[in-house]
């Protein structure tokens, strides 16, 4: 469940003792079913999604969606909207010529970010605004100050649009633009040293939490912040944020070390939920106001997508095992106390981080690439073709 960009808004709480992080039957009433609903299915990978009410907006590498019985195929280039009740494709059709990585509904329109050069046949490089009903390009969001490389994250605060990605122009990795005209606002100038993948704003809209590939050295512009940090919405200066990813180190020869990175965020009020990768993957619950850790859940593979609805946090990724209430680890997970088999999907009590019994099985090695949730409904996207024995290509829906 994400709103205002790679985000969503409820309330979460305090780290429970380790013993409570096992299965929590009390929360099961709110958990969605393990068997997915079947509807229209994309012909290639879904990379991002956001569920708003009864609509799932999806973006990725696909160019068409086909009905469950195979009788009907509709063209949708890289972005589409699906009815969460029926599974049918909606008329919304921006027609983008490259991969869409970020989708942000806002009022009557939707912002798109990705790696593309045209939307609806008009030139719009890597970022665009479209109507939320038919997908027509909003011409006022002009084709100026366009980022020169992929846009990966979008969020609105105080009426302006904050953008994250791999770009280095008009500035590196994060920028602010006017949400109506797309005019670049140079006075907001945060410093990070690598690609930004996720953005969120607190309820007061005084700070932006950013997550991505940063591995900042102490004394650099982002001063030791690894994978995640917070900046103000005035000039982009870093503000206190207690949590930082595991410190980097120089691995011995042959050691398959991967640095910690934050990939996606969702929120419920001022509680932030983040999915992280590295040597194993980690799901995090954080207080957005100060960055303190509420709880964490580790896996033996990347956590890529995360969503929250009705008191349950849903995670998706490339893992096969939940390690426990610890940072993720590829090497010391299976068989450790509190670990449990989880095939690319898992659910947690929002307040405590206790593991739910929800455990669909997902095929393919990478499995899940995106998770969205709202109003007791959950959608997942990725490279899969089956979940819990049901044929569902690249997109699946779950309901309570």
Q: What is the pLDDT of residues 327-375, one digit of tens each?
A: 999 888 999 999 999 999 999 999 999 999 999 999 999 999 999 999 9
User: If you average pLDDT over residues 16-28, what whole number do you get?
Assistant: 37
Sort 217 into a burial class: Cβ within 10 Å, 0-12 / 13-18 / 19+: exposed
pLDDT for res 234: 96
State how far the Cα of 201 lies from the Cα of 203, in Å rounded to an integer. 7
Which domains does the chain possess? 18-399 (2.130.10.10)
Residue 325 exposure: Cα atoms within 13 Å on the Cβ side: 21
Contact by Cβ (8 Å): 299, 278? no
pLDDT for res 253: 85
Closest to 116 in 3D by CA, of 74, 75, 165, 159: 165
User: If you average pLDDT over residues 2-9, what whole number do you get?
Assistant: 40
- Partnered with residue 207 across adjacent β-strands are 232
State how far the Cα of 306 lies from the Cα of 180, in Å rounded to an integer. 29
- 155, two tokens: 């969020």
Distance of CA 154 to the CA centre of its chain: 11
Long-range contacts of 97-100 (CB under 8 A, 24+ apart): 99/47, 99/59, 99/60, 99/61, 99/150, 100/47, 100/48, 100/59, 100/60
Q: Is the pLDDT of residue 22 over 70?
A: no
- DSSP annotation of 361 reads B
User: What is the CA angle 359-58-329, rounded to 5?
Assistant: 40
pLDDT for res 24: 40
- 335, two tokens: 């068989």
Q: What is the pLDDT of residues 212-260, one digit of tens each?
A: 999 988 878 888 899 999 999 999 999 999 999 988 777 788 888 889 9
Q: What is the pLDDT of residues 151-191, one digit of tens each?
A: 999 999 999 999 999 999 999 999 999 999 999 999 999 99
pLDDT for res 30: 86
State how far the Cα of 173 lies from the Cα of 162, in Å rounded to an integer. 11
């Amino acid at each position: 469940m994400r709103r205002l960009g790679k985000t969503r808004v409820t309330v979460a709480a305090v780290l429970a003792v380790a013993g409570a992080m096992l299965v929590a039957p009390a929360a099961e009433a709110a958990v969605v079913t393990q068997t997915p609903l079947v509807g229209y299915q994309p012909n290639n990978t879904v990379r991002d999604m956001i569920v708003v009410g009864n609509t799932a907006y999806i973006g990725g590498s696909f160019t068409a969606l086909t009905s469950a019985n195979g009788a009907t195929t509709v063209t949708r280039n890289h972005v589409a909207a699906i009815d969460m009740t029926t599974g049918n494709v909606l008329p919304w059709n921006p027609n983008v010529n490259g991969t869409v990585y970020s989708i942000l509904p806002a009022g009557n329109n939707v912002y798109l970010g990705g790696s593309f050069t045209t939307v609806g046949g008009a030139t719009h490089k890597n970022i665009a605004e479209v109507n939320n009903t038919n997908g027509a390009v909003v011409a006022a969001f002009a084709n100026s100050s366009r980022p020169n490389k992929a846009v990966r994250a979008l969020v609105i605060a105080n009426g302006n649009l904050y953008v994250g990605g791999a770009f280095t122009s008009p500035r590196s990795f994060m920028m602010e633009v006017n949400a109506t005209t797309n005019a670049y606002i140079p006075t907001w100038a945060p410093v990070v040293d690598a690609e930004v993948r996720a953005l969120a704003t607190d309820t007061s809209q005084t700070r932006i939490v950013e997550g991505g590939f940063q591995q900042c050295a102490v004394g650099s512009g982002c001063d030791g912040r690894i994978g995640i940090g917070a900046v103000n919405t005035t000039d982009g200066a870093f503000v206190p944020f207690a949590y930082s990813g595991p410190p980097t180190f120089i691995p011995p020869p042959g050691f398959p070390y991967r640095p910690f990175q934050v990939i996606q965020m969702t929120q419920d009020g001022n509680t932030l939920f983040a999915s992280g990768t590295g040597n194993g993957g980690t799901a995090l619950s954080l207080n957005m106001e100060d960055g303190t850790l509420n709880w964490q859940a580790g896996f033996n593979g990347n956590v890529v997508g995360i969503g929250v609805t009705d008191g349950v946090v849903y995670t998706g990724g490339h893992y096969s095992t939940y390690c426990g209430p610890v940072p993720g680890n590829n090497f010391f997970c299976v068989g450790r106390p509190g670990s449990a088999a989880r095939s690319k999907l898992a659910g947690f009590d929002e307040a405590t981080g206790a593991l739910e019994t929800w455990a669909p099985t997902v095929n393919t090695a990478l499995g899940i690439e995106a998770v969205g949730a709202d109003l007791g409904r959950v959608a997942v996207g990725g490279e899969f073709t089956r979940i819990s024995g049901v044929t569902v290509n690249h997109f699946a829906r779950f309901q309570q």
